[in-house]
Amino acid sequence: MNWYIDVIKNYAVFSGRATRMEYWMFTLFNVIFSVAAMLIDHFILNGLRLTDTLYTLAVLVPGLAVGARRLHDIGRTGWWQLIAFIPLLGAIVLLIFFCTDSQDKTNKYGPDPKELTI
């Protein structure tokens, strides 16, 4: 849960690097909260989709920011997220990028975040 909160605290920080763990833990909790919001909409608000829409809008910028920092961690620019607009191929490429191990040592986006936590 701390990973999720840390990403939310860095709401619009697109600089620096994010480890795989930070990105995937944020994604996991994001999916859990999104499903909970959908269930609330379905069972309590009779399918109004208000809670889900508000939650999605609230985490849009932090999600893009952590995605950009994750791409920085493998030495790529955050603009690579735009490849998601290419159907199927874009999602596959991003999945591979997000699963790739960090670059060792410092790269042009900053120091290795794994070394900072040790």
- The domain of 29 spans 2-109
Tell me what pLDDT residue 115 has. Answer: 80
Please count the structural domains in the chain.
1
Residue 117 has pLDDT above 80, yes or no: no
Condensed to tens digits (0 to 9), the pLDDT of residues 53-87 reads 999 999 999 999 999 999 999 999 999 999 999 99
Domain contains 115: no
Q: What is the DSSP string of 67-118?
A: HHHHHHHTT--GGGGGGGGSTTHHHHHHHHHHHSPPPSS-BTTBS-HHHHH-
Read off the pLDDT of residues 8-56 as tens digits, 9 standing for 90 and up: 999 999 999 999 999 999 999 999 999 999 999 999 999 899 999 999 9
Using the predicted structure, report yes or no on whether residue 116 has a pLDDT greater than 90. Answer: no
34 domain-assigned = yes
Predicted TM-score (pTM) of this structure: 0.91
Nearest to 110 by CA among 81, 71, 82: 71
